[in-house]
Chain A
Amino acid sequence: MQQIARLGRMGIAFTQSLGQSALLLWMALTAPPDRISREFRRLVTQLYFIGVNSVLIVMLSGLFIGMVLALQGHTVLSRFGAVEALGQLVSLTLLRELGPVVAGLLYAGRAGSAITAELGFMKATEQLSALEMMGVDPLAHVLRPRFLAGLISMPILAQIFNAIAIISAWVVSTELLGIDSGSFWANMQQVVDFREDVVNGMIKALVFGIVITWVALYQGYTAAPNTEGINRSTTRSVVISSLSVLALDFILTALMFGD
């Protein structure tokens, strides 16, 4: 009996937080807008903290992942005498799956955790209530620009990741593995479709951006207003958003490429 009750409690809590977070996002997005120039300035500031600050880690990871993919792909393909297919292996893997997912995980760790910690701290130091007291809506001023910035940043970060990874794979293939540069690109161009692969990858990244930022905002906004609460919320934000990225990736792949 006790166990069934616990299960029920978990179900209720889950549904409740889902509804709460949806409501929070909805209220943040539909809150009456400020002057355009001010909205824009806040958005740019958040783009800096969320997007620009994540670029370096995304680029570095892209560099190494591209090189590793080329090396590993070469080991397997050379067994079948099909090393020329390395270009298409690397590009399809990156564009369809690895790019959006790894960029998403990095983004969750780098920017998502920062958003949660910042919001949690704002709540603990009563900055959010202070804003409310001054007649300023914290949803519109604090949450909305962060959400929009996350939504814009993710596709950009994912495509920067892809571009860097493909270039680094090209460098490794031609310089280290001795694959002809022309056949590397030609092979890639033959199978990669802009609409099918590049755009679908960007849609994935966009969805991940929405979910990660959403989770981070909700966790930060509902953090218990003390050190331990912020700590727990930040951890939960990264765990939940990383798992959601991986689960959503499966669903999106099934919808986009599975037929």
Chain B
Amino acid sequence: MQQKLIEISVGLLMLAGIAAVTFLALQVSARGFGQNKGGYEVVAYFTNTSGLTDKAKVSFAGVNIGQVQSIEIVPASMKAKVSMKINKDVDYLSIDSSAVIQTAGVLGEKYVAIYPGSEDDVLEEGAEIYDTQSSMIFEDMIGKLVTNYAAKD
């Protein structure tokens, strides 16, 4: 009886451990497990992706609809190719949508915002978003502001 009780409680400990790890895997680090629930990939070419990272958000009208899969340089065009995974249920992005790299707040992380187009055809697996706008670089903006200001005097 005593041994039985010990074995049961050790079994419960093991179960609690497995439950904790499962919780951490699924709820806390959903990446790599939960979020691969299907979707299609689209690409966009940017002249500057400064600050954008893998797994950054892709948002449409402020709603999270996917994430950045990879960022690589295409030597032929001297541009950065950003591959994005868009959730399967978002199947209404028109083919002339535009992609803009934006910043959440002043010092927040970079993400890709998709703006709607007007065509009836929609983006599908492997499609390319042609209309893109690169990262705004804070230092550049300040630089321009300063030169403009100086030119006025």
Residue pair A186, B10 in contact (C-beta under 8 Å): no
Q: A45-B6, A52-B9 are in contact. Are A189 and B30 (CB under 8 A)?
A: yes
In the assembled complex, the CB of A50 is this many whole angstroms from the nearest CB of chain B, namely 10
Q: A47-B13, A188-B28, A190-B57 are in contact. Are A198 and B21 (CB under 8 A)?
A: yes
Residue pair A48, B28 in contact (C-beta under 8 Å): no
B25: A residues at CB distance < 8 A: 194, 198
Q: Which of B57-92 contact A (CB under 8 A)?
A: 57, 64
A51: B residues at CB distance < 8 A: 10, 13
B105: A residues at CB distance < 8 A: 81-82
Question: Which B residues form the contact surface with A (CB < 8 A)?
Answer: 3, 6-7, 9-10, 12-14, 16-17, 19-21, 23-25, 27-35, 55, 57, 64, 105, 108
In the assembled complex, the CB of A70 is this many whole angstroms from the nearest CB of chain B, namely 14
Dominant SS at the B interface? helix
Number of interface residues of A (CB under 8 A): 34
Q: A48-B6, A51-B13, A190-B55 are in contact. Are A159 and B24 (CB under 8 A)?
A: yes
Find the residue from A45, A52, A197 having the highest chain B CB count within 10 A.
Answer: A52
Residue pair B17, A156 in contact (C-beta under 8 Å): yes
User: How distant is the Cα of A189 from the Cα of B3 in the complex, in angstroms?
Assistant: 41
Residue pair A189, B10 in contact (C-beta under 8 Å): no
